[in-house]
Chain A
């Protein structure tokens, strides 16, 4: 009887752990991405300011990604400042300095966002300011062209837009099938277990 009770408790605990994992564990998910077709900003120059507005369709956003080109140059030097502002309230969501040496050719640069600060359907503005850059440095930002979406480089409107990829981490509820299947199989084993 004691052994039986211990066995059942073990089944229950394993099942509960499985359930909690499936119910709570946040898996990374790509929720939206702009296309990538051109280098939207060719060469960053000192004091250049790039501004773009965007609307997010999800609440639980945890990272934004930008893709840079260094034209295979590895010894670029300088400093970029990236600010994300909520347009309506002018609240700063993110204010981050990036050392240009950290940027790699054709790789995404990941900007981690404070969780739940980004709200669904609100308008946000991303501002990239080149604080400092050596003259020989070659840095571009990948993007796409669009008639409907606009971006500003040093205050001038352009059809070129930088590509922003929005990622989040959230539980995948379809995995909840596993604890159900687990308990059914345990039940099956117990029903046919030789007494």
Chain B
């Protein structure tokens, strides 16, 4: 403990030296941990071809057996030549952590774009049977036990441990500037996602179509490249990229085929449309990096980085603007699901960050009743609010929040009336971007992914049986909203990688939110009338969320509401909790303690989730 305390007293350059030493230490431990089994192996056994036996009755390459003689196998690599994708089913015996052999089963998919696929075992293996579902002309099986450096786990541990040390060593400074701490944590944890997730689409919900939008500036009306085609159409390739060689092969394939064209038809999209304007930062990054001539996958990666930087910056700004509950705002900024989406192609991070920022500007003005309205805050509220609402116009009632501004904040009654008029017109304009397309073409907003959906049929059903609709709405929307706001899928759903469970990481994050809320020293009373209006606005938005998904995503006649994702509620977590503040909450925990405990809880929760869901399953 004394040593740790001394760390706080050393000068800036010594602190940097400590961080460099930690990084080197992690590099050595990381190398030894992931290679100690290989270091024990004879050098000749690190990379060799395996002979296979063909089933005597079938006599082709559809059923093979290989004897791995109980040796340690890191990666089993299959080389092939094919024009169509195929699957391999592996069955046999593989040891567990103690070396006891157990039954093993795995199904892998191999793709025509590459001539290599494989499985990552990291264990001893005996006899394995391979069932191949398509005829192959030739196949070569090899074991890859070569020494390697696991950059992903290195990045994971380095960023995490250094982050703890940075927060510890610079805590005094960061405590005064929580917005800097927020930016630092968002960027650090986001970088872990950038490195540990696959640099491709279909890892996140609908990111293929989001990428297609962001990539529109790079396309000409003459063609669609093969690389674009793979990233915009192929589903969940990453699930089958178990080995390093497969990941590298796919990245090389994308880089080599960005000038080779496909049969896909090109469709124009206009990024200036209100619901697509949120793609502009990513689209401009993709265009600029492409113009410079960077490789395709680097352009893709940099666009993800820009999305993370924008998210972190807006959230840090929101923390800076908040008059109180800065720690709670920081906790909400580092919700793992938001950070995960911020490192991939999605518009949700823009919605979450902009609405949180707009709310911070509102709170800054609303809670400061003594001074007149500050134009800067109002402009931030309107501009950030509009940017957050444009992709999801059903959030438009959020703009009405600013009408709660008390009379005393205005210089004259006339100023107040004009202000109200402007906000109401802005609200009508934004809501019309959602309503007008429905009026002109009632089924335009139907989402065919929902199945047998039809907005017009659903409307007819509601009109013909209103009581049944109320029952369905009550059962789903009313009883399930609180669950959607604070569920494991709200905090920790990492799309197709998997998600948080009701385990330590969830409880840690929930505890961080509770602590951040109850330990606030500057909580103030909000009068009951304002509270009711605020909550009514949020409830109206929640009804819009459920209602829109009922109309557009739920098959006609189904007694449920499909497609309502918990992430839709994340932008309203802070505004909703904020309504319940009261001066009666007189916590004895000091602000610095509350900040350190919540920060540690959030980072640990993130680390547990990421290690369990991504690192263990996809990065070893």
Q: Which residues of A contact B (CB under 8 A)?
A: 27-30, 33, 35-36, 63, 65, 67, 105-108, 110, 142, 163, 165, 167, 172, 174-175, 177-178, 180-181, 184-185, 187-189, 191-193
| Contact, CB under 8 Å: B422 / A184 | yes
Q: In chain A, what residue has the closest Cβ to B375? A: A192
Binary contact readout B411-438 vs A (1 if CB under 8 angstroms, 0 otherwise): 0000100110010011001000100000
Query: With a CB–CB cut-off of 8 A, which chain B residues contact A191?
Result: 415, 418-419, 422
Least Cβ distance of A140 to chain B in Å?
A: 12
Whole-angstrom distance from the CB of B119 to the nearest CB of chain A? 34
Residues of B within 8 A of A189 (CB): 375, 379
CB within 8 Å for A65 and B419 given contacts A27-B270, A30-B266, A175-B272: no
Instruction: Report 9 cross-chain contacts, Cβ distance below 8 Å, ordered by A residue.
Output: A28-B268, A30-B265, A35-B265, A108-B223, A108-B266, A165-B266, A177-B429, A185-B383, A187-B418
- Are A106 and B263 within 8 A (Cβ)? yes
Shortest CB-to-CB span from A5 to chain B, Å, is 20
Q: How many residues on B have C-beta within 8 angstroms of the other chain's C-beta atoms?
A: 31
| Contact A30–B267 (Cβ < 8 Å) | yes
In whole angstroms, what is the CA distance A99 to B444 when docked?
A: 42
Q: Counting CB contacts under 8 A, is B149 at the interface?
A: no
CB neighbours of B221 from chain A (8 A): 28, 63, 65, 108, 110, 167
CB neighbours of A193 from chain B (8 A): 375
Q: Which of B577-597 contact A (CB under 8 A)?
A: none
Q: In the assembly, what is the distance between CA of A65 and CA of B224, in Å? A: 14
| A residues less than 8 Å from B429 (CB atoms) | 177, 180-181, 184
A108-B221, A110-B221 known; A188-B378 Cβ under 8 A: yes
* Distance in Å: Cβ of A131 to nearest Cβ of chain B: 24
Q: Which chain B residues border A107 with CB–CB below 8 Å?
A: 222-223, 261
Q: Once the chains bind, are B375 and A108 in contact (CB under 8 Å)?
A: no
In this assembly, does B382 line the interface, its C-beta being within 8 Å of a C-beta of chain A?
Answer: yes
Residues of B within 8 A of A28 (CB): 221, 268
Q: Which residues of A contact B222 (CB under 8 A)?
A: 65, 107-108, 110
Residue of B nearest to A38 (CB): B263
Tell me, rounded to whole Å, the shortest Cβ–Cβ distance linking A18 to chain B. 11
Residues of B251-305 whose CB lies within 8 A of A:
260-268, 270, 272-274
- By the criterion CB–CB under 8 Å, are B270 and A36 in contact? no
Question: Which B residues touch A35, using CB under 8 A?
Answer: 265
Q: With a CB–CB cut-off of 8 A, which chain B residues contact A30?
A: 265-268
Question: Do A172 and B266 form a contact, CB below 8 Å, given A110-B222, A187-B418?
Answer: no
Question: Which residues of chain A have C-beta atoms less than 8 A from B433's C-beta?
Answer: 174, 177
Give the residue of B223, B265, B273, B383 whose beta carbon is less than 8 angstroms from that of A174.
B273
- 8 more contacts with CB within 8 A, not counting A27-B270, A28-B221, A107-B261, are A33-B265, A35-B265, A36-B263, A106-B223, A167-B268, A174-B273, A180-B429, A192-B375
**Could you say which residues of chain A place their CB within 8 Å of the CB of B268?**
27-30, 167
Q: Digit string of B386-397 for contact with A (CB within 8 Å is 1, else 0)?
A: 100000000000
Report the 10 A-B pairs with minimum CB-CB distance, sorted nearest first.
A106-B261, A192-B375, A30-B267, A36-B263, A28-B268, A33-B265, A108-B222, A191-B418, A30-B268, A107-B223
A33 to B221 alpha-carbon distance, docked (Å): 13
Say whether B472 faces chain A, with CB atoms less than 8 Å apart: no
Is B442 among interface residues, defined by CB-CB distance under 8 A?
no
Given contacts A105-B261, A188-B378, whether A181 and B426 have CB atoms under 8 Å apart is yes
> Closest A-chain residue to B418, C-beta based?
A191
Cα distance A65–B263 when bound, in Å? 13
